[in-house]
Structure 1
Amino acid sequence: ALSEFSRKIGPDDTALFYYAGHGMQLHGENFLVGTDAKLESEFDVPAETVALSEIIGAMEKRARISMVFLDACRNNPLAERLTREVEGATRGAATRGLAPIETQGGGTLVAFAAAPGQVA
Structure 2
Amino acid sequence: MNVTAILNDTIASVKGAQFAGIVGTDGLSVAMAYHPAATELDLDVELAELELAELTSRATAAAGRIGAGYMRDLVIETDALLMLATQIIPGYYGVLGVLSEIANLGKARFALQAMIERVRTEL
- Regarding TM over 0.5, the answer is no
TM-score normalized by the length of structure 1: 0.28
Decide which structure has the larger Cα Rg and report it: 1
